[in-house]
């Protein structure tokens, strides 16, 4: 039973998470095979102040960017 763990900045809506779970499940099954019922997804919301990248807290690095654009 595969488990996919997603760690991302907090702030996504339940609808966005629902769509992400569907897309990850569909993609996993297309690529690796298996039943969608067997795929488990765990989403961990992390505050930007609890995530560091490139030697900086993400809350400092991305102070005003909406969560949907953090990596752009």
Looking at the predicted structure, is the pLDDT value of residue 37 above 70? yes
- pLDDT tens-digit readout, 46-61: 999 999 999 999 999 9
Catalytic residues, by residue number, are 2
Extract the tokens encoding 14. Answer: 């339940």
Looking at the predicted structure, is the pLDDT value of residue 67 above 80? no
**pTM of the full structure:** 0.82
Looking at the predicted structure, is the pLDDT value of residue 65 above 70? no
> Distance between CA atoms of 8 and 19, rounded to whole angstroms?
15
Residue ranges covered by each domain of the chain: 3-69
Pick the CATH number of 3-69 from 3.30.429.10, 3.40.50.150, 3.30.1330.90, 1.20.140.10: 3.30.429.10
Q: What is the 3-state secondary structure (H, E, C) of 4-71?
A: EEEEEECCCCHHHHHHHHHHHHHHHHHHHCCCHHHCEEEEEEECHHHCEECCEEHHHHCCCCCHHHCC
């Amino acid at each position: 039973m595969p488990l996919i763990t997603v760690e991302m900045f907090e702030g996504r809506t339940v609808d966005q998470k629902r769509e992400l779970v569907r897309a990850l499940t569909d993609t996993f099954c297309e690529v690796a095979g298996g039943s969608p019922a067997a795929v488990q997804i765990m989403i961990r919301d992390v505050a930007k102040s609890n995530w560091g990248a490139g030697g900086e807290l993400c809350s400092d690095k991305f102070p005003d960017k909406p969560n949907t654009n953090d990596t752009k």
